[in-house]
């Protein structure tokens, strides 16, 4: 049997090499944090050599950035689509606007439940708030801003009352990340945790934005 050339992906995984590297790096950074991961660790986990990792992503700092960039791209895609639907619902009245916000939150919860490594990656970064702060500006603030602008637009149209959209968005984001951590810690079935959190987050929205006249 011919030997696998250095840098070539394992035969049982035919994904593009860059995807293999980013998957491995994301899992390692999420589990250990930035300092405890070396390029050789990523290479070993991806089944390639260190030169291949460097070729596809550059330095460790560039690789770290690339992991967040890929997560951001996927998250932005789903949130922008849900945000457009919510914005279109604003002209239909308060009830429809609130329903659209519920749908938007469901999309966000679904995204993080399906990709728990996203939560782990961000939590590791936030353990050292002053380090790699540029990642927040590039890959968190735009998504926060998207939802904050939607809440501000809904308030301007009288669909809801929201004096501090940045606080609301941040609180919801942290609540969902906490939920994902709770899921990871669960023993046995996760169905109850998912069901109860989903009910909570919708009660939270209804409490924040009660229908006019209620």
Task: Measure the CA dihedral 187/189/191/192, to 10°.
Answer: -60
Reading the chain (214 residues) residue by residue, the pLDDT tens digits are 444 444 454 445 567 899 999 999 999 999 999 999 999 999 999 999 999 999 999 999 999 999 999 999 999 999 999 999 999 998 888 899 899 999 999 999 999 999 999 999 999 999 988 999 999 999 999 999 999 999 999 999 888 999 999 999 999 999 999 999 999 998 777 899 999 999 999 999 999 998 754 5
Quick one: CA torsion of 189, 115, 185, 119, rounded to 10 degrees? -150
What domains sit in the chain, N to C, each tagged with a CATH number? 17-57 (1.10.10.60), 67-208 (1.10.357)
Helix axes 17-32, 39-46, angle to 10 degrees: 120
How many residues belong to the chain? 214
Q: What share of the chain is helix, strand, coil (3-state, %, to 5)?
A: 75, 0, 25
Q: Cβ of 83: how many Cβ atoms within 10 Å?
A: 19
The model's pTM: 0.87
The DSSP element (H or E) to which 138 belongs, if any, is: helix 133-139
Tokens 């169905």 correspond to 191
């Amino acid at each position: 049997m011919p030997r696998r050339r250095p840098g070539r992906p394992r035969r049982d995984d035919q994904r593009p090499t860059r995807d293999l590297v980013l998957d491995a790096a994301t899992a390692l950074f999420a589990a250990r944090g930035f300092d405890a991961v070396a390029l050789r660790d990523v290479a070993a986990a991806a089944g390639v050599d260190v030169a291949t990792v460097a070729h596809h992503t550059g330095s460790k700092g560039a690789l770290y950035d690339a992991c967040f960039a890929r997560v951001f791209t996927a998250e932005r895609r789903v949130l922008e689509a849900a945000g457009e639907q919510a914005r279109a619902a604003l002209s239909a009245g308060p009830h429809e606007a609130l329903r659209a916000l519920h749908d938007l939150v469901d999309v966000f919860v679904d995204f993080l439940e399906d990709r728990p490594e996203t939560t782990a990656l961000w939590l590791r970064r936030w353990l050292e708030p002053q380090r790699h702060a540029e990642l927040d500006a590039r890959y968190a603030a735009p998504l926060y801003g998207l939802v904050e602008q939607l809440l501000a637009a809904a308030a301007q149209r009288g669909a809801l009352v929201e004096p501090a959209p940045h606080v609301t968005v941040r609180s919801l984001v942290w609540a969902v990340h906490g939920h994902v951590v709770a899921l990871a810690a669960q023993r046995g079935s996760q169905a109850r945790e998912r069901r109860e959190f989903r009910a909570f987050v919708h009660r939270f929205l209804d409490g924040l934005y009660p229908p006019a006249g209620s």
